[in-house]
Structure 1
Amino acid sequence: MDIQRIAAFSKGHEGGNPAGVVLLDTSIGEEEMVRVAAEVGYSETVFAVPLDASGKKWRVRYFSPETEVPFCGHATIALGTVLGKQVGWGTFELTLNDAVITVDAHRSETGVVATLTSPPTNSQAVPDALLTEVLSLFGFRQADLDDRLPPARIHGGSDHIVLLLSDRTRLAGMTYDLSLGRDVMRRLGVATIMLVVVKDDQTFVVRNAFASGGVLEDPATGAAAAAFGGYLRDRNWPHRGRFTIRQGEDMGQPSLIGVELDNTPGSPVRVSGGTRRI
Structure 2
Amino acid sequence: MAVLKIAAFSDGDVGGNPAGVLIGEILPDAAEMQSIAAEVGFSETAFAAPLGDGWRVRYFSPESEVPFCGHATIALGAALVRQFGDGTFVLTLNQASITVEGFRDGENVAAALQSPPTRSKPASPELIAEALALFGYAARDLDPKIPPALIHAGADHLVLALNSRKALAAMSYDQKDGQVFMRREGLVTVVLAYAETPRLFHARNPFASGGVYEDPATGASTAALAGYLRDIGWPHGSAIDIVQGEDMGMRSRLHADIPTQPGSSIRVSGTARMME
* TM-score by shorter chain over 0.5: yes
**TM-score normalised by L of structure 2:** 0.98
Question: 1:139 deviation in Å?
Answer: 0.9
Deviations for 1:229-267, whole angstroms, at most 9, x for unmatched residues? 100100111111111000000000000001001110000
Contact 1:12 1:110 in 2 (8 A): no
Give the Cα–Cα distance (whole angstroms) in 2 for the partners of residues 89 and 109 of structure 1.
Answer: 13
Structure 2 gap segments, 5+ residues each: none
Identity of aligned residues (%): 54
Residue 122 of structure 2 aligns with which residue? 125
Residue 240 of structure 2 aligns with which residue? 243
Matched, 1:91 2:64: no
Give the Cα–Cα distance (whole angstroms) in 1 for the partners of residues 232 and 89 of structure 2.
Answer: 31
Residue 163 of structure 2 aligns with which residue? 166
Letter in structure 2 aligned against 1:34: Q
Residue 25 of structure 1 aligns with which residue? 25
Matched, 1:59 2:53: no
TM alignment of 1:28-47, pairs within 5 A: 28-47=28-47
Give the Cα–Cα distance (whole angstroms) in 2 for the partners of residues 124 and 87 of structure 1.
Answer: 40
Matched, 1:143 2:140: yes
Letter in structure 2 aligned against 1:23: I
RMSD over aligned Cα atoms: 0.9
Letter in structure 2 aligned against 1:259: A
Question: 1:109 deviation in Å?
Answer: 5.7
Contact 2:68 2:93 in 1 (8 A): yes
Question: 1:27 deviation in Å?
Answer: 2.2
Question: 1:110 deviation in Å?
Answer: 7.4
Residue 273 of structure 2 aligns with which residue? 276
Residue 194 of structure 1 aligns with which residue? 191
Residue 256 of structure 1 aligns with which residue? 253
Larger displacement relative to structure 2 (72-81 or 85-94): 85-94
| Structure 1 residue matching 2:190: 3-state secondary structure | strand
Question: 1:107 deviation in Å?
Answer: 2.1
Give the Cα–Cα distance (whole angstroms) in 2 for the partners of residues 27 and 210 of structure 1.
Answer: 25
**TM-score normalised by L of structure 1:** 0.97
Question: 1:149 deviation in Å?
Answer: 0.5
Structure 1 gap segments, 5+ residues each: none
Residue 6 of structure 1 aligns with which residue? 6
Give the Cα–Cα distance (whole angstroms) in 1 for the partners of residues 31 and 45 of structure 2.
Answer: 14
